[in-house]
Amino acid sequence: MAALGGKLTKKLVENLGPGRHGDGAGLYLVVDPSGARRWIVRVTVKGQKNKKGAPLRTDFGLGGADVVSLNQARERALEYRRMAKAGLNPRYNANHDVPTFEELAGQVHIDRLPTWKDAKHGAQWLNTLRDYAFPKIGRIPVDAIGQPEVLMCLSPIWTDKHETARRLAQRIKTVLDVARSRGFRHGENPVTAVKEAGVLPKVKARAEHHEAMPWRDVPGFYAEIEGRSATAAKALQFTILTACRTSEVLGMTWEEVDEDARLWTIPAARMQGGVQHRVPLTDEMMRILETVKPLASSYVFEGQKRQRPLSNMSMLMLLRRMGRGDYTVHGFRSSFRDWTAEAAGARREVAEAALAHQVGSDVERAYARSDLLERRRELMEKWNLVCVDTAVQRMGF
């Protein structure tokens, strides 16, 4: 078959600057400011009208210029024009190499495997698409996906499973962004258009609720953990005793520990409120630290990988293995707070300081220079005695 003619040459295709460059008969080379080059063809479908009643004129991506040669682009453009002239919309009738959404999503997943935090995170990325996108748009070519198709995936779960829907939207957007970068589609990403159009209802953020173990049950549970030697068990014990957040405990380094002063100082950069927090270390806390010292890591609670902390899921998974999956690690902070109010009779400012909560107005906090360390030390000693003594009644509270 003789090569089709046009205005462009191979040299021009390789060297033209940013812009849309016509080859003739509706075929264009689009050069992005980044230097990426892709082919598009503009056709008018016979007998079909747009929303305004004008002839349906549509652009279609033919692929990137790095993988589709000039002659191949001309042949595909000719195929599209013939279909349009016959009244067939190339979006649904073209025999081209544009991948389906599922095909490209699988490729994007493979390409990004080295960048995932871990294999589980990568699996979750693909599973979300498999559960909520592939059944609806998986077999549709990526250049045929618009706002209606995106809404078809998001609308059913937008309210009831909003966080899942939000992640799904981001992942669909990623796949379609890759499709555009590879020349398979053009124009605005429909996910962005859907968000800007405001067609999905606003969903109020739900306050995160952390299920807390009743404080009277904590001593018995603490005794159960004591029989386990895993680092996650030691970390969970330490978390319960200190009433600190998961991230604060797992990110703890030996440099932050002053054994002589029996003090753990968490730098401001690691605190949720951005303020340094000092934690008094009790006898029981010191005992736990001694058990993990042989790990010889910069992190107190080292994970499976050397010089890396435990996974933030490690303690939660331990709870589940122990049949306490209805509680959360963060909930032990609430257990401690309930104990301070119901049994310890602690002053509010002392209890809140132990949890690293800011209390009062800006003016009040400006005058409250002390972090009440010694009063907190007394409070934590009592809490630690409660945790290690299963006969709470003998504590005299």
pTM of the model: 0.48
Is residue 265 domain-resident? yes
pLDDT at 57 over 60: yes
pLDDT at 2: 46
Same-domain pairing of 249 and 357: yes
Same-domain pairing of 263 and 355: yes
The 10s digit of each residue's pLDDT in 146-158 is 899 999 999 999 9
**Burial of 182 by CB count in 10 Å (0-12 exposed, 13-18 middle, 19+ buried)?**
buried
pLDDT at 161 over 60: yes
| Rounded distance between C-alpha atoms, residue 76 and residue 291, angstroms | 69
- Under DSSP, is residue 309 helix (H, G, I), strand (E, B) or coil? strand
Of 130, 147, 127, 148, nearest to 138 by C-alpha is 130
Same-domain pairing of 142 and 42: no
Same-domain pairing of 83 and 144: no
Q: What is the mean pLDDT of the segment spanning 176-200?
A: 86
Same-domain pairing of 237 and 300: yes
CATH of the domain at 341: 1.10.443.10
Beta carbons within 8 Å of 253's beta carbon, 6+ residues apart: 298, 299, 300
Same-domain pairing of 313 and 278: yes
Give residue 272's domain range.
Answer: 215-395
The 10s digit of each residue's pLDDT in 230-267 is 999 999 999 999 999 999 999 999 999 999 999 999 99
pLDDT at 334 over 50: yes
